[in-house]
Structure 1
Amino acid sequence: MRKVMTRPRPRPSASRPPTGRPPTRRDSRRPLRAIPAQPPPHPTEVFAERLLLVLSGQRPLHWVARHIANTAYDELARLAELAPLCADGHRPTIHRIGHYQPHPDAYEVFARVTAGPRLRALAFRLALGPDRKWRCTAVETEKSH
């Protein structure tokens, strides 16, 4: 028995004109469009979240050390020992945040923090340093009803 060698036939898709989609694609749906990049979060939101994590005991104090000015670091260390935003079995969340900008390089920030049925207040000040990085220069917590 003799084997006959034949040339391979071209694939049917290779002989068709291009349709605007990859040749391996079998459905008519178009790929999703790229999602535009979101702007970075505002510094007040970033710092509120960082302070919340430290004051609730979820992160250690040294985690934010480079973002806190000297006197504010001492106050934050004192507050972190008291763990004012801890709640029995409830994870604290930022309920509302707002700010006032008395100067282009400074923010006065307030936030309402909820943890279960409790509502707490968090206030802090941000200042833009000579290196153009934001740093927390003051921090306070207060119980709210």
Structure 2
Amino acid sequence: MKAIRSTTRTGTRTGTRTGGGTGPGARTSGTKAAPPRRTDPRRPGTDPAARHRERERLPRYWFANRLLLTLSGQRPVHWMLGHTLGAAYDQLTALAPQTPLRPAPPGRRAPVVRHCDEFRPRPGVIEAFARIASGDRLRALAFRLERGTDLRWRCSAVELGGAAVPHGAAARE
């Protein structure tokens, strides 16, 4: 058997251990090694909370969450004023009073964005679609984002569950 010396970061010896090798059956103590933690700092992206925070920074998820809060009645429509263009704001004012994404009956979870993906037809444009879960219901939400000259993303169109509100519908009422 060969002796293996271990050292700390400062270079001082902390002790020795003996072992016959480093293979799968080799142990240095009487206990099994713990499996690697999901939050291992050497493996980036393994922390679920960090992945969630990273996801929420994407424009498509950020807007999907804001649209969900507006269309579920949890936030007023004017909350989206600086984040929408004229036609999309008109669509929201027509959809929001119906609260089409309102929370499920009491005792159930509030609606959440389950998944959101995007298609980029050209630079500065994102066409996004999201699946919204509320209890046992699943709804579709589609929206278009356009990047302005100030480099801010703004929503320019909204569709919910295939029922689009025609442009200018709110203005005609």
- Give TM-score scaled by structure 2 length: 0.59
Q: Does 1:92 align with 2:111?
A: yes
Q: Report Cα offsets for 1:88-143 as digits up to 9, x if no partner.
A: 23410011111001111000000000100111000000000111110000001017
Q: Could you tell me how far apart the structure 2 residues matched to 1:46 and 1:63 are?
A: 14
Q: Could you tell me how far apart the structure 2 residues matched to 1:108 and 1:70 are?
A: 17
Structure 2 equivalent of residue 71 of structure 1 = 87
Structure 2 counterpart of 1:137, one-letter code: S
Structure 1 equivalent of residue 37 of structure 2 = none
Q: Could you tell me how far apart the structure 2 residues matched to 1:118 and 1:112 are?
A: 10
Unpaired runs of 5+ residues, structure 2, are: 1-9, 11-40, 42-49, 163-173
Structure 2 equivalent of residue 4 of structure 1 = none
Determine which of 159, 163, 173 is the counterpart of 1:140: 159
- Give TM-score scaled by structure 1 length: 0.70
Q: CA deviation at 1:49?
A: 0.5
RMSD of aligned Cα (Å): 2.0
Q: Report Cα offsets for 1:20-55 as digits up to 9, x if no partner.
A: 9xxxxxxxxxxxx9xxx9767111111001000000
Q: Could you tell me how far apart the structure 1 residues matched to 2:148 and 2:128 are?
A: 17
Identity level (%): 47
Structure 1 equivalent of residue 22 of structure 2 = none
Determine which of 44, 48, 55 is the counterpart of 2:60: 44
Correspondence 1:1-145 to 2 at 5 A: 41-86=57-102, 87-89=104-106, 90-142=109-161
Q: Could you tell me how far apart the structure 1 residues matched to 2:101 and 2:62 are?
A: 17
Q: Could you tell me how far apart the structure 1 residues matched to 2:105 and 2:84 are?
A: 28
Task: Give every structure 1 segment of 4 or more consecutive aligned residues whose post-TM-superposition deviation is greater than 3 Å.
Answer: 37-40
Q: Could you tell me how far apart the structure 2 residues matched to 1:69 and 1:134 are?
A: 10
Higher relative contact order (CA 8 A, sep 6+): 1
